[in-house]
């Protein structure tokens, strides 16, 4: 088989693996908290948020700015974990893909 044919087969296989990995990542979640557990965020490894839970005792009208900061911190932590997992999993799929002349 020609090297172009091999390359095309390899590309098709990697595309299938990437689609499978993306589907698996869409159902995988990570959790993060801030404020000693006052804010709890669940993120999916596809980059979306699944849920945000706030301890009712954390809500004080005088401290809305603090609550907003806690939510932002928990969200960023959860999304950061999700992105790291996604990058690691996708890197496993593409690690063996060699294109002559581009290495």
Residue whose structure tokens are 């589907």 = 23
Note the pLDDT tens digit of each residue in 61-102.
Answer: 888 888 888 888 888 888 888 888 888 888 887 776 665 554
CATH topology for 3-94? Ybab; Chain: A; (3.30.1310)
Closest CA to 70 of 55, 48, 83: 55
Instruction: Spell out the domain ranges in the chain.
Output: 3-94
Cβ proximity of 51 and 12 under 8 Å:
no
Note the pLDDT tens digit of each residue in 12-62.
Answer: 888 888 888 888 888 888 898 988 998 888 888 888 888 888 888 888 888
So what's the pLDDT on residue 23? 86
């Amino acid at each position: 088989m020609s090297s172009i044919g091999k390359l095309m087969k390899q590309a098709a296989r990697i595309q299938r693996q990437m689609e499978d990995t993306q589907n698996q990542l869409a159902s995988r979640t990570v959790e993060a908290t801030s404020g000693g557990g006052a804010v709890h965020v669940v993120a999916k490894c596809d980059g979306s948020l699944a849920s945000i839970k706030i301890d009712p005792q954390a809500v004080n009208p005088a401290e809305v700015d603090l609550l907003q900061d806690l939510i932002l911190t928990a969200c960023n932590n959860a999304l950061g974990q999700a992105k790291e997992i996604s990058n690691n999993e996708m890197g496993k799929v593409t690690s063996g893909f060699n294109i002559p002349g581009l290495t």
